Amino acid sequence: MITEHQYSPEDMSRWLQRHQQISFIVALLAGIGVLIGMFFDSSEFFRAWLMSYLFCFGLALGSLSLEMLQYMTGGRWGISTERILEAAAGTLPVVAVMFVPLLFGLRELYPWAHPDLVAGDPVLQHKHGYLNVTMFIVRAVVYFALWIGGATLLHRYAANQRVQSNYSAVRKISAPGLIIYVFSLTFAAIDWAESLQPHWYSTMWGFLFVAQQGLAAMAFVISAAILLSRDAAYARLFNRERLHDLGKLLLMFVMLWAYFSFSQFLVIWSGNLTEEIPWYLERMATSWGWIGVILILLQFAFPFVILLSRPAKRSGFVMLGLAGLVLVMRMVDLFWIVVPDEFRNGFHLHWLYIVTPVAVVALWHGVFLRQLRRRSLLPEGDPRLEGALGHVG
């Protein structure tokens, strides 16, 4: 048992509905502030929106990747997270709509969207066949078609296979689905984040975003599962053994993020090429460097040490706090990726970088809870469910 107080199904339904309403109210109130800020400083608004959007996008698409991973592996950890992952991946259509405001801010965000800059820059002219507004929009449409179509297909097959107590077809979808995910995310990460500084490039960028999304999604799943263990039926499934399993997976993603981040830094810094090194110089030679230190300490070192402890991984209180810290650091990491390209002289914090994430994340969270309320927390019919319920941790 993870939490002390257990709810009946009716109490749990009311609890979810109440928090869904709170999320939408917070999104509305913060959204008013965002609209005000948009009219007074559109440049700050679009960067704040991009940062916030990438965070929610990572939760949704990262959950879809974890869902496919758990279908492939068939571990007991997947039984306790299946419904949470389905609900989070089910927000992808809303995430696609949330992308639309960025289309109005392309010139505010991306140098390659300025014809005058492209005309005077040989590098931008060379990349213009790929980095142009029309192709940017076309690729975004293709990405979302792949992700939303894949999630819809996966969930439809999973529902059918659940009735037949056989997940073989879902596994056949998940295998190529994971490959498509890695390639499509790589191109999306280049389009939406790397091209903020179009002269710069990194061969590790796609893998880094894969690790970032896995880390964010796993932290979110852990926090959601701990809070949902208030439900008496779900608490039988999500016990301390399952929490321990998820803690080990979180440790894996923490190390994976650190490995890819350090590998990218090592390759670029040792190469010392004029096309590559400016991205790090902006973030290390100024007061932005303190953000990098904070990320090393709070997104790697501290979680790594805590997650080495078996008792810590089996403590709901510790894991909930640690998962919350990781999620906050994910937003800080995206802030460190998006903002320094515009403010290269040193640390800059506008109030929109606080209000906009609150509005966007609250909206996404409300949609997630609405998706979750449509599902039973227990995946009835799953051939692994009986064994998981009988395995007490």
Query: What is the SS3 string spanning 320-377?
Result: HHHHHHHHHHHHHHHHHHHCCCCCCCCCCCCCHHHHHHHHHHHHHHHHHHHHHHCCCC
Dihedral in degrees, nearest 10, Cα atoms 286, 53, 124, 118: -100
Residue 28 placed within a domain: yes
132: pLDDT strictly greater than 80:
yes
Structure-block tokens of residue 273: 């090429």
Grade residue 141 by pLDDT with cuts at 50, 70 and 90.
Answer: very high
48: pLDDT strictly greater than 50:
yes
Residue 56 placed within a domain: yes
How large is the C-alpha radius of gyration of the chain?
21
- Name the nearest CA neighbour of 299 among 332, 269, 276, 268: 332
| Residue 283 burial (CB count, 10 A) | 19
Q: pTM for this structure?
A: 0.94
- Name the nearest CA neighbour of 73 among 199, 171, 218, 144: 171
Looking at the structure of the chain, the number of domains it has is: 1
Residue 3 placed within a domain: no
CA distance 185 to 197: 18
CA distance 247 to 245: 5
pLDDT tens string 300-318 = 999 999 999 999 999 999 9
pLDDT score of 222 = 97
pLDDT score of 375 = 83
CA distance 64 to 201: 27
Question: If you average pLDDT over residues 16-39, what whole number do you get?
Answer: 95
Grade residue 118 by pLDDT with cuts at 50, 70 and 90.
Answer: very high
User: Which residues does 73 contact at the CB level (< 8 Å), separation at least 6?
Assistant: none
pLDDT score of 8 = 77
Q: What is the percentage of the chain residues whose pLDDT exceeds 70?
A: 94
Structure-block tokens of residue 263: 């590998």
pLDDT score of 166 = 63
What is the domain range of residue 25?
Answer: 10-386
392: pLDDT strictly greater than 60:
no
pLDDT score of 180 = 96
Grade residue 391 by pLDDT with cuts at 50, 70 and 90.
Answer: low
243: pLDDT strictly greater than 90:
yes
Q: How many residues does the chain have?
A: 393
Residue 354 placed within a domain: yes
- Name the nearest CA neighbour of 337 among 124, 194, 182, 191: 194
**Amino acid at site 335:** F
219: pLDDT strictly greater than 60:
yes
Q: Give me the chain's average pLDDT, please.
A: 91
Question: If you average pLDDT over residues 373-389, what whole number do you get?
Answer: 72
Grade residue 393 by pLDDT with cuts at 50, 70 and 90.
Answer: very low
Residue 59 near residue 371, CB atoms below 8 Å: no
Lowest mean pLDDT, pick from 53-57, 70-74, 293-297 = 70-74
Residue 2 placed within a domain: no
CA distance 371 to 88: 8
Structure-block tokens of residue 29: 């109130």
What is the 8-class DSSP label of residue 132?
S
